[in-house]
């Protein structure tokens, strides 16, 4: 934490502490309220394309990185929301990270979809529109494909050249926590 | 286990450890890699298939979806492709049983590959329509793993063989000095004392070789000193100081022993040679010249005696010499007389103008009946007769009536011996040999007799017919007949300690097929072979050491033993004993004569025993004819004895 402070300043440290407080305080809440809290919290972070912040084409930042730097692109929002909700107790099978096409912008985009039941119509957590809406009301988005978040993170890590075995999958969240704690040192 | 074998084993174990480690790690790596590949393959296909079929799920066009699934599945790389709706109900299921060709079943059992499932969602727009589960077919992976393992194994085998072969070669080079030291130690045990000239480079080995060389030299010196001492003792007691021939004392002992032992000698010719007026020669030319003349005479006599297989040559005193030619009959005696007379005539001393009358020769014939002194008197008479005749002449008192048996002609002898062998007129008499001092039975010496063709009671002793047989070339036949009968005798006896010594004629050893025949016999009677001892007379052995080595080498394979009898009869050096692996020597009877009184003989026997024991050879005294001799032997470290006093030869049934 001191490291974050020294590197990114006091405001970065405060944002991370706020995030941790959000997770800790809202554990027992109903899922729809949790969705709203988390969506609102992260949508406060301003949007920047990856190449401006990270100097890379497609960089998936961890929530700590995202909050520290106070900037994100669509993947970072979805991932941060996904892991925060997981941490707050939302079951994995209800959350899907979905590749979509933003029709108005004609741009590749990513959102987090929440399925109350497996075959239900999902609600969409997006950074383009702050409000959580039913999928059918999002005519501006065309869904391409969905993944569960853990698998996607795993695949992405593998792509980065990290060795991730099958057994690691279960503890992925744990890894992320560890990673974030290390970042805090 | 030899050192080199231990080192090679160590090398092999190390190699095996390295191999097992490498093998394990590389197989594990290959397995993990293949499993990850199987997983990613399954996952990729699941994702692609999920993406491909998603548009068709919006229309719920299951037929198209099924065909798409089949198109992927029929590629053959998948074990299971399963499509479920979001409730978990199976919509499409394709399965291929796992059949792996070219890979043995045990391999799959011991190194199973997990083929993890790949999973992907099927979307219908925003809605989750279902899920695809894919498991790759592990057959290809197994084949790859199997190929991998076989290849590693093959490489290991080839390289291990190469490394071990190289190691063996290196070890052989490095350890070769040890082999030589081993050979040296073995040789020392075999009474040879070799020195290794080539010192190995390895320091430790070099120290060992040097120490062994010192040991070998020291042992050789010790034994040589011993032998020199014994030779000196013998020289003082038994040899004439000027000519080195046997002295009177020795000659008389030998003559007494032989005249009294029909087994050893049945007939012989005794020649007395006297130089004329040696005293006068000494006065005239000085003692040095006289000694020179004596030595010339001795040399001439040695040359003549060398052609007589069994002889005793002595310088009695002054100008008197004696030559006993055993197994010589009258005709041969006459030839010998002429040769001796020629030798006398040929003597010239240091003056070429020396008068030609150098001396005379008197010859008497021993027919087995006289005693030594009687025979000497007869020879002396003959000498007087010769002296009354012309210069350098010889005279032979031929007995009027030569005994019937010895009077047979050579042709008659041949047919007699051959018939005796053919019609089994061969009798074996056994004489016991006892250990000294406890008088325990060691073995029996086999003495062969031929039965007279007309009178079955009359037995011919070896001394009578053996010389004839040897000159007729029949000795091998007799020895073979005896050995066959001895083997039968041994086979009948159940006592494993019943051991027999058989006399072999030196002539037999020179007979071409004899040793081969003997080896076959021993091979066929391998169990009895270790109860057999072969005795050869010393005079025969020293003249044919090569055949002796051959004999010893062949029979010792069957644990038969070889021994020498009549040892010490000629004054040959002891040095050859080192090289012969014999079990015992029998001291010639002439050394035992008056042993109770004669301290020289006692010293000699004691020294001889010391030498023999140093070489791991036992000493047995023959001709122990009286209790007095037997008692004297007790103090001389002799290992055993045989003689009339201990037990007479007798047919086996009687003993």
Q: In the numeric block, which tokens belong to residue B308?
A: 């007589």
Which of A118, A122, A148 shows the shortest C-beta gap to B86?
A: A118
Position of tokens 């004993």?
B577
Q: Is the pLDDT of residue B2 over 80?
A: no
In this predicted model, what pLDDT tens digit does every residue of B332-379 receive, in sequence order? 899 999 999 888 888 765 555 455 678 899 999 998 888 888 899 999
pLDDT of residue B104: 87
- What is d(CA B259, CA B515) in angstroms, rounded to the nearest whole number? 33
Question: Tell me, what's the pLDDT at B653?
Answer: 64
Helix axes B203-238, B139-189, angle to 10 degrees: 30
* Cross-chain CB nearest to A143 (options B50, B86, B126): B126
Neighbours of B83 (CB within 10 A): 25
The residue count for chain A: 185
CB neighbours of A168 closer than 8 A, spacing ≥ 6? A154, A175
> Which residue has 């009286």 as its token pair?
B626
Residue B620 has pLDDT above 90, yes or no: yes
pLDDT given for residue B351 in this prediction: 55
Among A94, A136, A151, the strongest candidate for a mutation testing the B interface, having the largest count of B CBs within 10 A, is A151
Give B-chain residues touching A111 at CB under 8 angstroms.
Answer: none
Confidence band for B483, pLDDT divided at 50, 70 and 90: very high
pLDDT score of B237 more than 60 = yes
Whether residue A1 has pLDDT greater than 70: no
Q: How many CB pairs under 8 A join A and B?
A: 40
Asked if B121's CB is within 8 angstroms of A145's CB, the reply is yes
For position B486, what pLDDT does the model report? 94
- Distance in angstroms (rounded) separating the CA atoms of residues B640 and B625: 14
Range from B409-413, B441-445, B479-483 carrying the lowest mean pLDDT: B409-413
- Residues B515-541: pLDDT tens digits? 999 999 999 999 999 999 999 998 888
Encode pLDDT of B177-221 as tens digits. 888 888 888 888 777 788 888 888 888 888 888 998 999 899 888
Does this model's pTM top 0.80? My answer is: no
What is the C-alpha separation between B462 and B471, in angstroms, rounded? 14
- Give pLDDT, residue A56: 64
**Do the strands B359-366 and B394-397 form a parallel or antiparallel pair, or are they unpaired?**
parallel
pLDDT > 90 in chain B, percent: 33
For residue B367, what pLDDT is reported?
85
| pLDDT at res. B299 | 93
Please report residues of A whose CB lies closer than 8 A to that of B119: 151
How far apart are the CA of A102 and the nearest CA of chain B, in angstroms? 14
**Chain A: closest CA distance from residue B79 (Å):** 20
Weakest-pLDDT range from B30-34, B44-48, B404-408, B621-625: B404-408
Q: Which residues pair with B649 in a beta bridge?
A: none
pLDDT band at A123 (very low <50, low <70, confident <90, very high): very high
pLDDT of residue A183: 54
A154 band by pLDDT with thresholds 50, 70 and 90: low
Interface test with B, best of A100, A143, A152 (most B CBs within 10 A): A143
Which own/partner pairs from A155-161 qualify as long-range (CB within 8 Å, at least 24 positions apart)?
A: A155/B43, A156/A60
Residue from B404, B270, B251 nearest B333 by CA: B270
A181 vs B326, which has greater pLDDT?
Answer: B326
Q: What's the longest Cα–Cα distance across chain B? A: 160
Is the peptide bond preceding residue B654 cis, with omega within 30 degrees of 0?
no
Q: Is B362 strand, coil or helix?
A: strand
Q: Which residues of B touch A (CB under 8 A)?
A: 36, 39, 43, 50-51, 54, 86-87, 116, 119-121, 123, 125-128
Closest CA of chain B from A116, distance in Å: 11
In this predicted structure, the answer to whether residue B140 has a pLDDT above a threshold of 90 is no
**pLDDT in the model for residue B337:** 92
Whether ipTM exceeds 0.85: no
Closest Cα in chain A, distance from residue B34 (Å):
13
> What 3 state SS string does B432-456 have?
EEEECCCCCEEEEEEEEEEECCCCC
Integer Cα distance of B609 and B615 in angstroms: 10
* DSSP state, residue A72: B
| pLDDT computed for residue B361 by the predictor | 93
Residue B175 clears pLDDT 90, i.e. is over it: no
Using a CB-CB cut-off of 8 Å, the residues of chain B touching A155 are 43
Task: Express each pLDDT in B486-516 by its tens digit.
Answer: 999 999 888 888 999 999 999 999 888 999 9
pLDDT at residue A54 is higher than 70: no
Residue of A nearest to B128 (CA): A119
Question: Is there a contact between A145 and B126 if contact means CB atoms under 8 Å apart?
Answer: no
Q: What is the pLDDT of residue A167?
A: 38
Q: Which residues of B touch A115 (CB under 8 A)?
A: 128
Q: What is the pLDDT of residue B323?
A: 95
Residues of A in contact with B86 (CB under 8 A): 118-119
pLDDT of residue A179: 57
- Reading the block at residue B559, the tokens are 């644990």
Checking if the pLDDT of B21 tops 70, the result is: yes
Q: Which of A119, A124, A146 sits opposite B121 (nearest CB)?
A: A146
**A91 pLDDT higher than 70:** yes
- Residues A154, A164: contact at Cβ < 8 Å? yes
Distance CA B642, CA B436 (A): 10
Angle (deg, nearest 10), helices A149-159 and A172-184: 60
Residue % of chain A over a pLDDT of 70: 74
Between CA B185 and CA B206 the distance in angstroms is: 15
Q: What is the rounded average pLDDT for all residues in chain B?
A: 87
- Given an 8 Å threshold on Cβ–Cβ distance, is B116 in contact with A145? no
* pLDDT tens readout for residues B548-596: 999 999 999 999 999 999 898 877 777 788 888 899 999 988 888 778 7
Q: Give yes or no for residue A164 having a pLDDT over 70.
A: no
- Which residues lie across from B621 on neighbouring strands? B587, B641
How high is the pLDDT of residue B346? 81
How far is B125 from chain A, CA to nearest CA, in Å? 6
Minimum mean pLDDT range among A121-130, B101-110, B612-621 = B101-110
- Given a cut of 60, is residue B405 above it in pLDDT? no
Q: Where residue B435 falls among pLDDT bands split at 50, 70, 90?
A: very high
CA distance B127 to chain A (A): 6
Q: Does residue B23 surpass a pLDDT of 90?
A: no
**Phi, then psi, of B653 in degrees rounded to 5:** -55, -30
Give strand ranges (E) for B309-468.
311-317, 320-326, 359-366, 394-397, 426-435, 441-451, 459-461
Comparing A152-156, B270-274, B516-520, which segment has the lowest mean pLDDT?
Answer: A152-156
Lowest mean pLDDT among A78-92, A128-142, B343-357, B425-439: B343-357
Chain-chain contact of A143 with B125 (C-beta, under 8 angstroms): yes
Write out the residues of chain A at the interface with chain B, using a CB-CB cutoff of 8 A.
96, 98, 113, 115, 118-122, 124, 135-136, 143, 145-148, 151, 155, 165-166
Contact B126 A135 (CB under 8 A): yes
A25-44 mean pLDDT: 90
B427 forms bridges with which residues in the sheet?
B449
**Are B121 and A113 an interchain contact pair (Cβ–Cβ within 8 Å)?**
no
pLDDT tier at B404, thresholds 50, 70, 90: low
CB contact under 8 A, A145 and B127: no
């Amino acid at each position: 934490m001191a490291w974050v402070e020294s590197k990114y300043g006091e405001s970065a440290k405060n944002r991370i502490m706020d995030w941790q407080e959000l997770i800790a305080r809202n554990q027992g809440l109903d899922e729809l309220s949790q969705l709203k809290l988390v969506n609102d919290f992260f949508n406060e972070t301003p949007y920047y394309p990856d190449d401006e912040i990270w100097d890379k084409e497609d960089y998936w930042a961890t929530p700590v990185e995202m909050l520290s730097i106070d900037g994100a692109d669509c993947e970072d929002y979805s991932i941060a929301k996904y892991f925060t909700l997981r941490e707050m107790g939302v079951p994995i099978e209800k959350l899907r990270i979905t590749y979509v096409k933003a029709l108005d912008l004609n741009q590749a985009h990513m959102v987090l979809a929440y399925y109350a039941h497996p075959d239900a119509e999902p609600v969409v957590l997006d950074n383009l529109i702050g409000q959580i809406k039913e999928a059918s009301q999002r005519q501006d988005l065309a869904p391409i494909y969905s993944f569960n978040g853990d698998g996607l993170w795993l695949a992405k890590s593998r792509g980065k050249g990290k060795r991730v075995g099958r057994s690691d999958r279960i503890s992925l969240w744990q890894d992320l926590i560890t990673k974030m704690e290390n970042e805090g040192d | 286990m030899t050192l080199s074998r231990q080192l090679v084993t160590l090398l092999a174990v190390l190699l095996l450890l390295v191999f097992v480690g490498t093998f394990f790690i590389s197989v594990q790596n290959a397995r993990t890699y293949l499993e990850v590949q199987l997983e990613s393959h399954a996952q990729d296909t699941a994702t692609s298939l999920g993406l491909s079929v998603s548009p068709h799920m919006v229309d719920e066009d299951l037929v198209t979806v099924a065909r798409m699934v089949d198109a992927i599945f029929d590629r053959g790389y998948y074990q299971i492709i399963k499509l479920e709706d979001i409730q978990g109900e199976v919509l499409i299921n394709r399965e291929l049983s796992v059949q792996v060709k070219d890979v043995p079943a045990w391999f799959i059992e011991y190194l199973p590959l997990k083929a993890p499932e790949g999973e992907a969602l099927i979307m219908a727009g925003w809605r989750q329509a279902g899920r695809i589960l894919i498991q790759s077919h592990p057959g290809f992976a197994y084949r790859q793993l199997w190929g991998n393992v076989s290849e590693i194994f093959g490489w290991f085998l080839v390289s291990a063989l190469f490394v071990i072969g190289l190691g063996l070669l290196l070890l052989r080079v490095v350890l070769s000095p040890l082999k030589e030291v081993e050979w040296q130690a073995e040789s020392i045990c075999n009474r040879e004392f070799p020195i290794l000239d080539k010192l190995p480079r390895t320091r430790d080995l070099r120290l060992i070789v040097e120490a062994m060389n010192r040991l070998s030299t020291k042992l050789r010196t010790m034994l040589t000193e011993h032998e020199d001492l014994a030779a000196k003792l013998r020289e003082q007691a038994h040899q004439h100081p000027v000519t080195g021939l046997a002295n009177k004392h020795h000659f008389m002992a030998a003559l007494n022993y032989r005249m009294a032992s029909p087994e050893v000698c049945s007939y012989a010719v005794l020649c007395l040679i006297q130089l004329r007026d040696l005293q006068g020669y000494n006065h005239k030319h000085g003692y040095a010249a006289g000694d020179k003349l004596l030595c010339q005479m001795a040399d001439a006599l040695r040359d003549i005696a060398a052609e007589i297989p069994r002889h005793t040559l002595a310088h009695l005193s002054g100008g008197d010499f004696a030559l006993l030619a055993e197994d010589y009959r009258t005709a041969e005696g006459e030839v010998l007389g002429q040769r001796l007379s020629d030798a006398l005539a040929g003597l010239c001393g240091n003056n070429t103008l020396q008068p030609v009358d150098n001396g005379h020769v008197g010859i008497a014939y021993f027919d087995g009946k006289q005693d030594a002194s009687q025979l000497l008197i007869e020879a002396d008479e003959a000498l007087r007769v010769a002296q009354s005749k012309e210069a350098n002449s010889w005279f032979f008192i031929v007995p009027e009536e030569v005994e019937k048996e010895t009077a047979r002609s050579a042709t008659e002898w041949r047919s007699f011996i051959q018939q005796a062998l053919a019609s089994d007129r061969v009798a074996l008499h056994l004489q016991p040999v006892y250990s000294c001092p406890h008088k325990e039975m060691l073995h029996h010496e086999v003495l062969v007799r031929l039965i007279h063709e007309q009178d079955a009671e009359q037995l011919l002793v070896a001394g009578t017919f053996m010389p004839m047989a040897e000159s007729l070339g029949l000795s091998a036949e007799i020895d073979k007949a005896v050995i066959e009968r001895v083997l039968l005798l041994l086979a009948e006896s159940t006592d494993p300690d019943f051991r027999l010594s058989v006399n072999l004629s030196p002539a037999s050893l020179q007979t071409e097929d004899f040793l081969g025949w003997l080896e076959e016999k021993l091979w066929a009677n391998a169990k009895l072979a270790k109860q057999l001892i072969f005795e050869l007379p010393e005079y025969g052995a020293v003249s044919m050491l090569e055949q002796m080595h051959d004999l010893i080498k062949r029979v010792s394979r069957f644990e038969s033993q070889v021994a020498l009898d009549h040892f010490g009869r000629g004054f040959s050096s002891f040095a050859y004993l080192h090289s012969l692996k014999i079990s015992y020597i029998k001291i010639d009877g002439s050394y035992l004569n008056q042993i109770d009184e004669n301290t020289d003989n006692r010293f000699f026997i004691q020294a001889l025993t010391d030498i023999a024991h140093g070489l791991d050879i036992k000493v047995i005294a023959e001709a122990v004819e009286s209790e007095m001799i037997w008692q004297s032997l007790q103090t001389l470290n002799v290992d055993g004895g045989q003689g009339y006093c201990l037990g007479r030869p007798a047919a086996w049934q009687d003993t």
